[in-house]
């Protein structure tokens, strides 16, 4: 008998070119309609789960992916071409884009092409919310920064769930099994840029330090020395101690993107016990009766599109939902698992009444901040000149080196508000502990702004900030009972005083950062409303530019065992559903 499992892991993967064996494009190619396990979603988490289940050879596994294969998708291999995979304002030469991406904020075949509902606290704006719809999921389309967060985040999760297995010390062995630290693409000496003892070289995911040096790198490091009290240098932000500014670590190996498709899935795809079916969107879970008096869902229904016929498949053991923070709650609700009032309004019969499904959404607010700079040290000319970009692409294809072998930032850091900040007089500190951060800084040597096109002339520095400990909570709701209609995504950004205060103070902090002597002969001035000085002016600027850094969590949250809230207990079994343990 089967049970239903939620998985929200944040693991990505490697560089090997996949050689698919049982990659199917039609249900008729499957070996049957019954497997031991059905994994819904061949994304960041789903491929990890499928690989772990398959490695013993004793389990028969079906992996269903709504999107396309990642084979032959050049932009999913070349790190700096990542922005072309998802809806955004085109900021690279036209040769980087498929025909689908010729216009502003164009949809792409590799993304779900979601948009958020109008955001009340962001001037009513709406904007894209990227989610990968391709083998590897968002690990195939993201910007590849690969960090694990603060150790205190894990320890808080262990406290909340009452399960010590989630604690940092107990998760570390799995991180070691996951990551494989490799030399950067340019082979430079990495002494002092990370702490080798904090990392593994035995895992499946190649990750590396920046593989292309920028002229501003030395300015960044000099700033950490001059302003060490506020922006201390971190020798390694990827080992659980995140505070400070250091060198970025990315899911890039040998100058090529690492994704869960190129590693975890690739490691088992040729096994006879694994079938992977693309273009298979799960429309609902199939209710197959009761186990232990509880509804059981040991089947799935899927189709390739709204006009295509549906197919059912069944699991002897478990159906495992790895459809992400949007897909998982959407599928649960379409299956009759969710808030009874909301389901009834969409003419869906409630099988398991759980008001927590689709609630508690949390995300990191993104704010790109641009400065006009002197000279030609930035990559802006390369990124707007088709000839120069073509030469860089030729270099990448020949040797997997050069500027395109690199990610978006060479440096990033995590910071806290001062302990005496006025906001703490009215708001408890939402961070998981004193060593966890409130906001993040990413440094890029070119124009980065998902909403605004790169200016035709000029060179730019971008300091992107992200809200890391948000207190605003949003929702994921069904727009209708049509599984092919996008859900209503409402992150409810900047709904709280703490979130607005932190974004305002982060803007002030990065202005102090650029006031260091290291930038005096380089920066000309801020672009647009970034020049604002008053609280009101900065708040208006933040509202006009902020969007998302694409890190949604919480919509199918885990909770303590037998809690009155949450979608699953610490073992991520869906509450109210019967499974093998109920027999």
CA–CA distance, 104 with 556 (Å, rounded to integer) = 32
Query: What are φ and ψ of residue 560, in 5° steps?
Result: -65, 155
DSSP 553-577: B-TT-B-STT-SSSSB-TT-BBTT-
Query: What are φ and ψ of residue 379, in 5° steps?
Result: -90, 5
Map residue 286 onto helix, strand or coil.
strand
DSSP 430-457: -SSSTTS-SEEEEEESS---TTSPPPSS
The annotation status of 142 as a binding-site residue, yes or no, is: yes
Q: CA angle, corner 147, sides to 13 and 145, nearest 5?
A: 70
CA–CA distance, 504 with 282 (Å, rounded to integer) = 42
Please enumerate in sequence order all residues whose Cβ is within 8 A of that of 43, keeping only pairs 6 or more positions apart, or say none.
65, 132, 136, 137, 138, 139, 260, 322, 323, 324
Q: Which residue has the tokens 């605003």?
A: 472
Burial environment of residue 426 by CB neighbours within 10 A (0 to 12, 13 to 18, 19 or more): exposed
CA–CA distance, 329 with 342 (Å, rounded to integer) = 13
CA–CA distance, 358 with 277 (Å, rounded to integer) = 27
Chain Cα centroid distance, residue 163: 25
Please enumerate in sequence order all residues whose Cβ is within 8 A of that of 465, keeping only pairs 6 or more positions apart, or say none.
366, 367, 369, 439, 440, 441, 442, 503, 506, 507, 510
Q: Which letter does DSSP use for residue 19 in this model?
A: -
* Residue (of 275, 249, 252, 278) closest to 263 by Cα position: 252
Other beta carbons less than 10 A from residue 570's beta carbon: 20
Chain Cα centroid distance, residue 335: 25
* Residue (of 47, 6, 67, 551) closest to 258 by Cα position: 47
The annotation status of 144 as a binding-site residue, yes or no, is: yes
The annotation status of 114 as a binding-site residue, yes or no, is: no
Chain Cα centroid distance, residue 193: 24
Q: Which residue has the tokens 């990968």?
A: 132
Strands 365-373 and 459-467: antiparallel
Q: Read off the tokens for 337.
A: 């698992």
- Annotated binding residues for FAD: 142-145, 282
- Annotated binding residues: 142-145, 282
């Amino acid at each position: 008998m089967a049970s239903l499992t939620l998985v929200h892991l944040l693991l990505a993967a490697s560089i090997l070119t996949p050689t698919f064996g049982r990659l199917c494009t039609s249900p008729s190619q499957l070996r049957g309609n019954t497997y031991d396990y059905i994994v819904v979603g061949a994304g960041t988490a789903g491929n990890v789960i499928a690989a772990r289940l398959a490695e013993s050879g004793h389990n028969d596994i079906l992996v269903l992916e709504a999107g396309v294969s990642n084979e032959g998708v050049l932009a999913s291999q070349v790190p700096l071409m990542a922005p072309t995979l998802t809806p955004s304002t085109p900021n690279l030469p036209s040769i980087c884009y498929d025909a689908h991406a010729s216009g502003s904020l164009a949809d792409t075949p590799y993304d779900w092409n979601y948009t958020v509902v109008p955001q009340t606290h962001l001037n009513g704006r709406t904007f894209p919310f990227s989610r990968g719809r391709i083998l590897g999921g968002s690990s195939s389309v993201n910007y590849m920064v690969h960090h694990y967060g603060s150790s205190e985040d894990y320890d808080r999760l262990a406290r909340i769930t009452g399960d010590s297995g989630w604690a940092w010390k107990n998760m570390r062995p799995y991180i070691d099994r996951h990551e494989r630290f490799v030399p950067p693409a340019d082979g430079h000496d990495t002494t002092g840029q990370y702490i080798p003892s904090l990392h593994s070289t035995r895992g499946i995911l190649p990750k590396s330090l920046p593989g292309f040096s920028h002229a501003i790198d030395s300015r960044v490091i000099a700033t950490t020395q001059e302003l060490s009290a506020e922006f201390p240098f971190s020798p390694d932000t990827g080992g659980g101690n995140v505070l400070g500014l250091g060198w970025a670590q990315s899911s890039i190996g040998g100058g090529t993107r690492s994704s869960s498709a190129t590693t975890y899935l690739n490691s088992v795809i040729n096994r006879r016990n694994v079938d992977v079916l693309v273009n298979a969107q799960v429309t609902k879970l199939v209710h197959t009766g009761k186990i232990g008096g509880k509804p059981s869902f040991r089947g799935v229904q899927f189709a390739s599109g709204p006009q295509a016929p549906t197919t059912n498949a069944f699991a002897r053991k478990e159906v495992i939902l790895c459809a992400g923070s949007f897909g998982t709650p959407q599928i649960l609700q379409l299956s009759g698992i969710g808030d009874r009032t909301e389901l009834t309004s969409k003419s869906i019969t409630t099988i398991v009444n759980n008001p927590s499904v689709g609630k508690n959404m949390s995300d990191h607010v993104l704010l790109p901040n641009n400065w006009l700079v002197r000279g030609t040290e930035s990559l802006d000319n390369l990124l707007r000149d088709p000839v120069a970009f073509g030469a860089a692409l030729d270099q990448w294809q020949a040797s997997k080196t050069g500027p395109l072998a690199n990610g978006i930032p060479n440096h990033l850091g995590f910071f806290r508000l001062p302990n005496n900040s006025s906001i703490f007089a009215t708001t408890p500190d939402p961070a998981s502990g004193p060593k966890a951060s409130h906001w993040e800084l990413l440094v890029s040597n070119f124009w980065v702004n998902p909403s605004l096109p790169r200016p035709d002339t000029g060179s730019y520095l971008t300091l992107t900030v992200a809200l890391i400990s948000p207190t605003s909570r949003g929702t994921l709701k069904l727009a209708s009972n049509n599984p092919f209609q996008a859900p209503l995504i409402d992150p409810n950004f900047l709904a709280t005083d703490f979130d607005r205060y932190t974004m305002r103070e982060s803007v002030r902090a990065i202005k102090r950062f650029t006031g260091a002597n290291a930038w005096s002969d380089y920066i000309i001035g801020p672009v647009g409303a970034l020049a604002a000085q008053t609280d009101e002016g900065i708040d208006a600027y933040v509202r006009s530019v902020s969007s998302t850094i694409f890190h949604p969590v919480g919509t199918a949250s885990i909770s303590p065992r037998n809690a009155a809230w949450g979608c699953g207990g610490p073992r991520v079994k869906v509450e109210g559903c019967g499974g093998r343990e109920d027999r």
